Amino acid sequence: MKEYIGVDGYQALAKVLHKMTPDEVIDEIINSGLRGRGGGGFSAGKKWKICKNIKAEKHYVICNGDEGDPGAFMDRSIMEGDPHGVLEGMMIAAYAVGAKEGYIYVRDEYPLAVTHLEKAILDCERSGLLGENILGTDFSFSIKIARGAGAFVCGESSALMKSVAGEVGEPRATYIRSVVKGLYDEPTVLNNVETLVNVPTIIRKGADWYKSIGTKKSTGTKVFSLVGKVRNTGLIEVPMGITLREIIYDIGGGILDDRPFKAVQTGGPSGGCIPESMLDLPVDFDSLTEVGSMMGSGGMIVMDDTTCIVDVAKYFLEFLVEESCGKCTPCREGLYQLHKLLEKICSGKGEMSDIEKMERLSENVMIGSLCGLGKSGPNPLMSTLKYFKDEYIAHIKDKKCPAGVCPELITYKILDNCTGCMACIPACGYDAIEGKKKEVHVITQDKCTKCGACYAVCNFDSILVS
């Protein structure tokens, strides 16, 4: 806590409490152009304004730290590394909308984040930054932590609020907005961790300063989790509007082992894959949506020529089928059928008419689903169909997986340059490889399950996947 105060921590809180009215705070945030970092990109200030203007007994502020997007860990590092920044952001939001109680919803997989936030809350309570009459004003606010329990759909606003209340996290139809009727049916502001952590800085340095970073419609910076087949993996914070090429090649150092770039996936299970031809695309909310992906929470997964695009689509659908809460039929059954079709294609039994079937079904799922999970669920499939149709056709017509991933469509062979080192023999869990020391080994094809273990352990590039 001392460190946080040492870097101007809680200065912004003092400023709003002593020098600004709630409306001034909201105007400042609207003016800064800050948009929600949790996926939707809705203006944070406008959300606060709607919430504040609703007359109700209670208002709530909730911080969304569910970070369900697999392959992303920005919010984890913020909650672990800068818990006070999150708290201060929440306090300012609470002051602006008139909330007395707040919750932070943290993903179950992040125990360290919970520990750090608990400590930060305790420190604040002890020093009078949380509780009654904060800093001698009549503003009172308390924060509780609600731990998630491993359900992706609970990142969705209405499901999250059910979960906070100790219920099963099923979303409800979106025509009832949670800003109007949220937690316990009271008006509730739900913001992502990264959105809130931007707030104190905006208040301290001013909206104009914030606007000077990024692009006109997407202001400020964004944290991405740059992972996958890229040389330097990790978290990066970049100004909005930077191009994908700059991120992947300048910051990421290019593709692992200098292999060819294939695609970059953004937006998690609701997003899409972006092909090489679009590497010069500026990264902001609107450009990404335009090409059929989305900003999402900031996962950025780089793929090379050994990543099979159909397999990736299948992977996301499988994830969504698992995580669909099952309440509405289009999502529960539609995603299931899409996944079945993809399995069929990956196993070499696909027909050309399946592509059309998937397109039609995707559309229905998008229109008919209750919440964002289903509405955007077919995105990974649609975007890959759009940009990588050839790869689908290769699976269907030629019965080949060009990336060498789908087991039913590939074979493993040992080449003559095998040194006979015997490394692959114990690695194979199926006794499919035979050979003596310093002699070329052989794979018994009808025992081979195409798991790829031999390929992974071979140091001499002697295994051919085709």
Partner 1 sequence: MKHDFNKLTDIFDKYPKTQESLIAILQDIQKEYQYLPCEALEQTSDVLDVPLSKVFSVSTFYNSFSLTAKGEKVVKICTGTACHIRGAKLLQDQLENHLAIKAGETTEDMKFTLEVVACVGACAMAPVVVVGDKYHGSVKVSRVKKLVKAK
| Interacting residue ranges for ligand FES, rule: CB under 6 A | 70-71
DSSP string, 99-123: -SEEEEEE-TT-HHHHHHHHHHHHH
Query: In angstroms, what is the minimal distance from the CB of 425 to partner 1?
Result: 12
Q: Would you state the structure tokens that stand for residue 412, as one six-digit string? A: 């493993």
Residue numbers of the site for ligand FMN (CB under 6 A)?
36-40, 42, 44, 64, 66-69, 153, 155-157, 190-192, 195, 297, 371-373
Give 44 or 302: the residue with its C-beta nearer to partner 1: 302
Q: At what angle do helices 74-81 and 83-97 cross, to 10 degrees?
A: 90
First to last CA, the chain: 57
x/- map, 12-51, partner 1, by CB under 8 A: ----------------------------------------
Give 109 or 434: the residue with its C-beta nearer to partner 1: 109
Report how far residue 368's alpha carbon sits from residue 361's, in angstroms, rounded to the nearest whole number: 10
The answer to whether 453 contacts partner 1 (rule: CB under 8 A) is yes
Q: Where are the alpha helices (DSSP H) in 369-461?
A: 372-376, 379-387, 389-396, 424-427, 453-457
Strands (E) located in 256-377:
261-266, 272-275, 299-304
The answer to whether 319 contacts partner 1 (rule: CB under 8 A) is yes
Query: In angstroms, what is the minimal distance from the CB of 70 to ligand FES?
Result: 5
Residues 6+ apart with CB under 8 A from 291: 272, 274, 278, 281, 383
Query: In angstroms, what is the minimal distance from the CB of 231 to ligand FES?
Result: 18
Give 70 or 241: the residue with its C-beta nearer to ligand FES: 70
Query: In angstroms, what is the minimal distance from the CB of 93 to ligand FMN?
Result: 10
Give 117 or 199: the residue with its C-beta nearer to partner 1: 117
Query: In angstroms, what is the minimal distance from the CB of 72 to ligand FES?
Result: 7
Residue 334 sits at φ, ψ, to 5 deg, of -65, -50
**Token match 């919010």: residue?**
75
Interacting partner of 312 out of partner 1, ligand FMN, ligand FES, none (Cβ under 5 to 8 A depending on kind)? partner 1
Report how far residue 466's alpha carbon sits from residue 460's, in angstroms, rounded to the nearest whole number: 17
For partner 1 (CB under 8 A), the number of binding residues is 56
Query: In angstroms, what is the minimal distance from the CB of 335 to partner 1?
Result: 15
State CA 204 to chain mean position distance.
29
DSSP H or E stretch at residue 201: helix 193-205
Q: Which residues of the shown chain bind partner 1 in the complex (CB under 8 A)?
A: 67-73, 76, 107-110, 146-152, 163-169, 225, 227-229, 233-235, 265, 268, 299, 301, 303, 307, 312, 315-316, 319, 322-323, 325, 423, 427, 429-430, 449, 451-453, 456-457
